[in-house]
């Protein structure tokens, strides 16, 4: 769905959500508060969003009967993870469903090569990259990117999965150069990949932004952006997001301007998360974008009147976007694996908003909840 073919939902209408993880759960909670009814399609009966679903279609993402039920039930369909099969969105569209953000942002964000080409086509900067389909390509690519470099699968990578580094100290301690290259290729499963120069960034920031639907079809679609947080990772997984980010205003404005260009180019409807590397000279490179609400935007539920989740629901429902002003400084931390067992300590800490995802099993690296500390 694009901003030009959107229709406006009414309270009690149904929002379909592909995916039942924590993002689906938080989207559904926002939808419920706005009087909408979430219909969730997720194969896992006990997924985090199940409890928030007015209707839970338990089916695989490519199950045509399940998708047909969703298409018939929902006034608009959105998704909470970017690895939704393209065929599922095509099937929903064929069945007459309106899907937002549409198939185009999804297909670009699903493929790291397409994503970088898209960013560059808009004049944005990215790390140097090279498409790798074979061991020979990998060798040729290393001549282009230099080392250290990072090899990532083109598709289906997230939270640092499906990627490996080449030419860093730790890689080479006990391997010859040839062995290191072979090892990296095996690490990504010898799959179509992209090789990127490892950028010596100062910090990472992200822009969480929304594009909605014009009140009259002819006007420009509204765009609203939150203050970009600084993001810190541990083991490739987002650990902490801090606002305000300690970067000059000009950097923030550049990041917002690039995000604006991307949203317009995609005729986007919904919330997007765009990740940037900030270099020592305060220039920016885009790492990736997610066509959905984003982990680095979770602080908005504590520090803004309208959270990213409500903002996304408003956008896909064709409703006016909310105010993105931040009323507090904030620091969001993910509770990963057994960190969640400290939930009582967080509850006992003043000015902390606790969000637990209700996942029944704790696993290392699994996002179990998050906490946001706010300060005046």
In the complex, the residues that contact ligand AMP under the rule CB under 6 A are 127, 150, 157, 160, 196, 198-199, 204, 233, 236, 287-288
Nearer to ligand AMP, 157 or 167 (CB): 157
Radius of gyration of the chain (CA): 21
Of the two residues 80 and 288, which places its CB atom closer to ligand AMP in the complex? 288
Residue placing its CB nearer to ligand AMP in the complex, 204 or 339: 204
Residue 238, classified by CB atoms within 10 Å of its CB into exposed (0-12), middle (13-18) or buried (19+), is buried
Per the DSSP assignment, residues forming a β-bridge with 288 are 275
- Does the CA dihedral 180-185-189-195 come out positive or negative? positive
Q: Pairing relation of β-strands 284-290 and 230-234?
A: unpaired
Burial of 349 (0-12, 13-18, 19+ CB in 10 A): exposed
Smallest gap from Cβ 99 to ligand AMP, in A, equals 24
Given the complex with ligand AMP, which of 51 and 156 has the nearer CB atom? 156
Task: Give least dist CB 204 to ligand AMP, A.
Answer: 6
Contact 372, 240 (CB under 8 A): no
Q: C-beta of 127: minimal distance to ligand AMP in Å?
A: 4
Q: Which residues pair with 206 in a beta bridge?
A: 275
Closer by beta carbon to ligand AMP, 171 or else 196:
196
- Spatial distance between the Cα atoms of 259 and 342, rounded to a whole number of angstroms: 36
Distance CA 138, CA 166 (A): 11
Distance CA 239, CA 4 (A): 37
Q: Which is nearer to ligand AMP, 33 or 233 (CB)?
A: 233
Shortest reach from residue 32's CB to ligand AMP, in Å: 31
* Minimum CB–partner distance for residue 179 and ligand AMP (Å): 23
The CA distance from 375 to 278, in Å, is: 25
Q: Which is nearer to ligand AMP, 50 or 245 (CB)?
A: 245
DSSP secondary-structure letter at 326?
B
CB of 42 to ligand AMP, least distance (A): 23
Minimum distance of ligand AMP from residue 110's CB (angstroms): 13
């Amino acid at each position: 769905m694009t901003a030009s073919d959107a229709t406006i939902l009414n309270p009690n209408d149904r929002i379909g959500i592909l995916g039942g993880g924590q993002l689906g759960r938080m989207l559904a909670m926002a939808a419920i508060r706005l009087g909408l009814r979430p219909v969730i399609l997720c194969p896992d009966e006990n997924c985090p969003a199940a409890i928030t679903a007015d209707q839970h279609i338990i089916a695989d993402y490519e199950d045509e009967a399940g998708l047909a039920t969703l298409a018939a039930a929902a006034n608009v369909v959105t998704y909470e993870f970017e690895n939704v099969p393209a065929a599922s969105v095509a099937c929903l569209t064929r069945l007459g469903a309106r899907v937002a953000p549409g198939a185009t942002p999804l297909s670009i964000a699903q493929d790291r090569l397409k994503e970088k080409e898209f960013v560059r086509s808009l004049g944005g900067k990215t790390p140097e990259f090279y498409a790798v389909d074979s061991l020979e390509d990998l060798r040729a690519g290393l001549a282009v990117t230099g080392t250290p470099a990072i090899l990532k699968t083109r598709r289906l990578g997230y939270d640092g999965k499906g990627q490996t580094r080449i030419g860093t100290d730790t890689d080479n301690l006990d391997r010859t150069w040839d062995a290191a290259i072979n090892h990296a290729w095996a690490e990504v499963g010898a799959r179509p990949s992209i090789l990127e120069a490892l950028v010596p960034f100062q910090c990472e920031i992200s822009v969480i932004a929304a594009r909605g639907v014009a009140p009259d079809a002819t006007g420009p679609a509204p765009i609203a952006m939150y203050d970009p947080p600084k993001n810190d990772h541990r083991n490739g997984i987002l650990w902490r997001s801090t606002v305000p980010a300690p970067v000059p205003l000009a950097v923030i404005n550049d990041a917002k301007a690039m995000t604006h260009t991307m949203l317009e180019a995609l005729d986007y409807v919904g919330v997007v998360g765009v990740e940037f590397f900030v270099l020592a000279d305060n220039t920016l490179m885009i790492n990736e974008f997610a066509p959905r609400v984003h982990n680095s935007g979770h602080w908005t539920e504590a520090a803004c009147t309208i959270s990213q989740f409500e903002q996304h629901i408003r956008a896909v429902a064709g409703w006016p976007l909310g105010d993105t002003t931040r009323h507090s400084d904030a620091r969001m931390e993910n509770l990963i694996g057994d960190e969640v067992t400290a939930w009582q300590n967080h509850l006992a800490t003043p000015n902390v908003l606790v969000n637990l995802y209700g996942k029944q099993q704790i696993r290392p690296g699994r996002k179990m909840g998050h906490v946001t500390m706010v300060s005046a």
